[in-house]
Amino acid sequence: MNKLSLIKPFIKTNVFDKCVISSITDDSRDVQKNSLFVARQGIASHGKDFVKDAIRRGASCIISDQNFEDRIEIPIYCLNNLEDQILEILFRFHELSVDNFVFHGVTGTNGKTTTAFMAHNIIRGLEKPSIYIGTLGAFINDDLIQTKGNTTPGIFEILQILQASKAKQKTYVFLEISSHALEQKRLGSLPFFQTILLNIQSDHLDYHKTYKNYIDAKLSITELNNKHPTIIFFDKIQDLLESLSSSQKKQLSTSTFLSAKNSSAMFKYSVNYKTHEPSKINLNFPRITLSIYCSLFLKFNIENYISAIALISKHISSTNLNTLNNTSIKLPQGRGELLKLKQGKILIDFAHDHLSIFNILSELANSYNEIIVVFGCGGDRDKSKRPKMMRVVQDFASKIFFTSDNNRYESFSSIASDAMQGNDHSGAEIIEDRQEAIRSALPHLNNENILVILGKGHETDIEILGKKVPFNDKDCVLKIMGDEIN
C-alpha cells in the first residue's frame, strides 16, 4: 500500500508525487524498500549523516529539518519545523487518532516497571484495552511483543506499537520513562493524561555525570505535555528537599503529592504491612476513598501498587477496586518474584544499584536472620556503584556469591576487583559463571533463611563480549532444582 497520500498534506510541493512510501523511520538501520527516511537530530549525530545508508537500504524519499549540500539521488523535502510536526505526521501515517489513546508516564530510580505494569493490569482487570511499554517489552492487552530494548522507546517505535494494537476505542497506555529518555526529550510532545515520579536515588551517573543533572532529568517529567500535574511520591523525595535548587523546587510546586506523612497531600494513604498475610491499605484520594487488603511480598511493592492506583485514579472508582481480587495482584516477572521451593524461599529481583539492593535486604532482615545473596555488577557502567553494592550486601548477607551480570566488554576480574575495593574479602565467594554461582548458593537454602538473586530479574540473556547468551535466573533455579515449586 502506498501511503504517500497520508503525508502529502505536510509536503508543500509535488517533489514526492512519483514516490511509493510503505513505511516510515528515523533509523537508517530500519529502512526497507520504499521507506520514508526522516533525517532528524539524534543523541550524538544528525540523520543526514546516515542518508547514504538509508538510500542503500531502499529509502524512496527523505524528510529533514536541514538542507543538504550534496546532491541526493532520491527526492528530499526540508521541513523547518519538523520536530513540531513529527507527532502529527506519525499519527497520520499510521492512520491512528491520538484521541483514542490515554497516555500515562512513570519515572523513578526504582519501581517504574512494577508500577506501570500494575496500572496496566488493573485496567485489564476491569476489561478495558491497555498497552504497557517499558523494560519488559510491550504488552498489548495481554500479549507480549518484543521491542528494541530501550526502557523508553523513541516516538517512532512507540507509534509502531500503537499501530500493532489496532485500537479502535479508547486505549490506556502506560509508559516507563527513563532519565535518558527525559534528558534526550525522546517523547517530544506526546500528550500525557497523567504522569508520576516515584523516587529519585543516585543512578546512571556514567551518563548524567552529576547527581544534580540526574535530578534535573527526573524532575523534567513535570515539563512534559501533561494534561494534569505530575504526581510526586513526596515521602520518597523528602530527604532531597533542602538540597534542591530554586528551579527544581519550582518544578515541585507545579505538582501534586502522594504521601503517607504529609497531611496536605492530595493523595493520602496508610498501610498496615504484614509480611506473611494480607496487608491493609487505606486510601484517601480525590476520587477514591476505601480500605482494601493486598498480598504483596516486600512493602515497597505495596507502595508501587498504591502509586499505580494514584496514576489511574481519574479513570476508576472505589467500586472498581473492590471488584478486583486485590489479594492476588500480578507482579511483573523478576520484580520481587518469590519462588517457594521445598528447600525454602528464593527472591528474584532486578535490583542493580546499592540503594535498590538496600531497600530489599533491609526489609528482608526484619523477617529472616539469615540471608544468602547472589549478585554481580554490570560491566562498562558506573564503576563507583560497585563497592557500594558490595558494602550493602555485606551489611545484610551471611553468605555472598559474587558473579557475572552483563559483563559486556569488561573483564569479570576487573568488575570483581572494583566491587571488593575497600570491602571485607572474607565474606564473599567469587564465581564468574552465574549458573555455577546459583548452583553453589542453593545447598545453603533452608526453610529458615532466604536466598536472594539480584540484578537480572526478567532478563533472558547475559551479555558477554558483545554476545547475548540465553540465561534467566528463574529458569536456572528451576533447572537445577527440577521444577520443584510448591
Cell numbers linked to 90: 506519525
CA distances from 134 to 139, 143, 158, 161, 453 (A): 9, 14, 10, 12, 22
Residue 413 is classified by DSSP as H
Q: Cα separation of 174 and 102, whole Å?
A: 9
* Nearest by Cα to 77 from 87, 86, 67: 67
* Nearest by Cα to 6 from 64, 131, 90, 66: 90
Q: Where in the chain are all domains bearing CATH 3.90.190.20?
A: 337-481
Least confident of 89-103, 239-253, 396-410: 239-253
Give the pLDDT band of residue 484 (cuts 50, 70, 90). low
The whole-number average pLDDT for the span 143-167 is: 93
Residue 280's φ and ψ, nearest 5 degrees, are -95, 130
| pLDDT for residue 325 is more than 80 | no
Q: Where in the chain are all domains bearing CATH 3.40.1190.10?
A: 98-328
| pLDDT for residue 486 is more than 60 | no
Mean pLDDT of the chain: 93
The span from the first CA to the last CA of the chain, in angstroms, equals: 53
Give the pLDDT band of residue 205 (cuts 50, 70, 90). low
Give the pLDDT band of residue 39 (cuts 50, 70, 90). very high
CB 177 within 8 A of CB 112: yes
Q: Where in the chain are all domains bearing CATH 3.40.1390.10?
A: 4-93
Q: Cα separation of 361 and 390, whole Å?
A: 12
Look at residue 258 in the predicted model and tell me its pLDDT: 98
Please give the angle made by the CA atoms of 308, 313 and 316, to the nearest 5 degrees. 110
- With b meaning 16 or more CB within 10 Å and e meaning fewer, what string describes 441-454? bbeebeeebbbbbb
| pLDDT for residue 327 is more than 80 | no
Task: Report the predicted TM-score, pTM, of the whole model to 2 decimal places.
Answer: 0.90
H or E element, residue 139: strand 137-140
Q: What angle, 0 to 180 degrees and rounded to 10, lies between the N-to-C axes of helices 299-311 and 354-364? A: 120
The correct answer on CATH 3.40.1190.10 for the domain covering 98-328 is yes
Mapped onto helix, strand or coil, the DSSP state of residue 402 is strand
Residue 456 is classified by DSSP as -
CB 280 within 8 A of CB 271: yes
The whole-number average pLDDT for the span 60-89 is: 92
CA distances from 125 to 58, 120, 280 (A): 44, 9, 20
The DSSP string of 250-313 is: HHHHTSEEEESS-TT-SEEEEEE--SSSPEEEEEE-SS-EEEEEE--SSHHHHHHHHHHHHHTT
* CA-based torsion, 131, 132, 136, 142: positive or negative: negative
Residue 393's φ and ψ, nearest 5 degrees, are -65, -40
CB 359 within 8 A of CB 353: no
Backbone Cα Rg of the chain: 24
Cell numbers linked to 445: 537454602
Q: What fold characterizes domain 4-93? A: 3.40.1390
Q: What fold characterizes domain 337-481? A: Protein-Tyrosine Phosphatase; Chain A (3.90.190)
Q: Cα separation of 303 and 294, whole Å?
A: 11
The whole-number average pLDDT for the span 274-285 is: 92
| 423 vs 329: which has the higher pLDDT | 423
Residue type, 216: D
Relative to beta strand 225-226, strand 137-140 is: unpaired
Cell numbers linked to 34: 520504499
| pLDDT for residue 471 is more than 90 | yes
Residue 385's φ and ψ, nearest 5 degrees, are -75, -25
The whole-number average pLDDT for the span 389-411 is: 96
CB 88 within 8 A of CB 299: no
pLDDT digits (tens, 9 = 90+) for 3-15: 999 999 999 889 9
Look at residue 71 in the predicted model and tell me its pLDDT: 86
